Amino acid sequence: MFADHVKIYLRSGKGGDGHVSFRRELYVPAGGPNGGDGGRGGDIIFQVDEGLNTLSDFRHMQKFCAQNGEDGRKNRCHGSDGEDLVIKVPEGTVIREAESGLVIADMSLDNRRQVILKGGRGGNGNQHYATPTMQAPKYAQPGQPGQGLYVTLELKMIAQVGLVGFPNVGKSTFLSRVTNARPKIANYHFTTLVPNLGVVDLPGGGGFVIADIPGIIEGASEGVGLGLEFLRHIERTRVLVHMVDAAGSEGRDPVDDINKINAELEAYKPEILDKPQVIAANKIDVIPPGEENENLSRLRGEFEPKGIKVYPISAVSGQGVKELLYALKGLLDQAGSEPEVYEPEYVPSTVRAEDPYTVTVDEDGVYVVEGPRIEKMLGYTNLESEKGFDFFQKFLKSNGILDDLEKLGIKDGDTVRIYGLQFDYYK
């Protein structure tokens, strides 16, 4: 099944913890600390894959985690860096922060590969904390946590011209005539269930990419049918081509069809109607020669005064097609042929991953601080030494824990308990 909108969870790798160890060798009386550093956590990277044209694979896998860095080891051995996770997506994929909808990256045109989440930095081993007054530090730095983020992926095709119209008016036939695309064509409604792209090459150089947007029906902007799945592909286009059945072979009113489609486009995103538009009045090959077609007259009378030119064509015979293509090239030259690219609005690298902890007051008025990273830090830190206790205080301050205690109303002399450790608070 075609998919062009999914929500997934990303997490970069955690940095490895620094190691606490000491050199213990015969005939080396003052070996000193030799704990190695932790490795860097893996990054989350998005990369364009030319062979993909849908987000279907993400329907089955929605959680992506990069590898954690290895912990440091003794003898100053550095832990291995975690492997980056490269996620391949089709060109035109827009990555947004799920809650706010802000754009993180647009994988289009020159942007083929981008780091979305950086892995955590590895922690320093205890070898870095030796000083003349503290020659045997019994603590090391834990690795930074990875970053977690929910994102949505939206596939918006890269095309300068969007071909829109109700089902079975000849859009796929037209695309197969003017490009190398080979969409499925048949004489029944909703044949096209995926957008199709094709490149138009014009004699004398120049050309453009055209997208056949599957049949839009009334209520598409409200999610009726597959409306929203298709409407988003129109957003990048610079010029719109309304294709209608001028011969009336389907029993449809072409003027009413265009008005209904424009109403859906306006309801979805009003600025889409600011794009230049033309009308391809298709199937003139079945109109008897020499007759002034009523539908053509009505189309011209209704839309040409509004600046929307009508081009009679036959997608089957090719009649009028060349004139339409050169008209589209002229409009693109005026409007700018580069498809719209979305600018970044959200930078995940500025968002620290969550460091879960709780700060509460028990029934005895004791302030209780708990959390897995705090507990791990206690295991690394020698609180009996002055430097170790200072190191732990800095950790509480840099992680916002002291600020949270003050928000709860802690005062000088109040008791704070952190697992098995209990001390009096003084600012």
- Per residue of the chain (427 residues), give pLDDT as tens: 345 788 999 999 999 999 988 887 777 666 788 899 999 999 999 999 988 877 888 888 889 999 999 999 988 899 999 999 999 998 889 999 998 889 999 998 889 999 999 999 998 888 887 777 667 777 788 888 888 999 999 888 778 898 988 877 888 888 888 886 554 444 444 444 566 778 888 877 677 888 887 756 554 445 444 445 667 778 888 899 999 988 877 778 899 989 988 888 888 888 888 999 999 999 888 877 655 678 888 999 999 999 999 999 998 889 999 999 999 999 988 887 677 788 888 888 544 444 567 888 888 888 998 876 677 677 666 676 676 777 788 888 877 888 888 888 888 888 988 877 888 888 7
What distance in Å separates the CA atoms of residue 261 and residue 264, rounded to the nearest whole number? 5
Per the document, the length of the chain is 427
The whole-number pLDDT of residue 30 equals 66
Asked whether the beta carbons of 82 and 40 are under 8 A apart, the reply is: yes
378 CB-near residues (< 8 Å, 6+ apart)? 392, 418, 419, 420, 421
pLDDT of residue 157: 74
pLDDT at position 223: 46
Q: Which pTM was predicted?
A: 0.67
CA atoms within 13 A on the CB side of 312: 15
Distance CA 119, CA 340 (A): 31
Pairing of strands 358-361, 367-370: antiparallel
**Separation between Cα atoms, residue 302 and residue 231, nearest integer Å:** 25
Hey, is 65 helix, strand or coil?
strand
> Pick from 279, 281, 247: which is nearest to 262 by CA?
279
Whole-number Å distance between alpha carbons of 312 and 321: 8
Tokens of 128: 């870095």
Angle at alpha carbon of residue 123, lines to 393 and 350, rounded to 5°: 80
Q: Is the dihedral of CA 90, 94, 97, 98 positive or negative?
A: negative
Question: What is the pLDDT at residue 291?
Answer: 59
The DSSP code for 22 is B
pLDDT of residue 359: 86
d(CA 145, CA 20): 19
CA distance 412 to 393: 16
Cα–Cα dist 46/116, whole Å: 7
Beta strands across the sheet bearing 277-282: 196-201, 207-212, 161-164, 239-245, 277-282, 309-312
Q: In 74-147, which ranges are E strands? A: 85-89, 93-97, 103-107, 113-117
Q: Across the beta sheet with 103-107, what order do the strands follow?
A: 63-65, 5-11, 148-155, 93-97, 103-107
Q: Distance between CA atoms of 62 and 383, rounded to whole angstroms?
A: 43
CA 379, CA 382: separation in Å to the nearest integer?
Answer: 8
Which of 145, 144, 131, 142 shows the shortest CA–CA distance to 72? 142
**Collapsed DSSP state (helix, strand, coil) of residue 153:** strand
Helices (H), 150-233: 171-178, 227-231
Angle at 77 between CA 76 and CA 78, to 5 degrees: 115
Q: How large is the angle between the packed helices 294-303 and 254-268, nearest 10 degrees?
A: 40
124: tokens are 């320093």
Give me the phi and psi of 299, to 5 degrees please. -60, -45
- The residue with tokens 């912990």 is 71
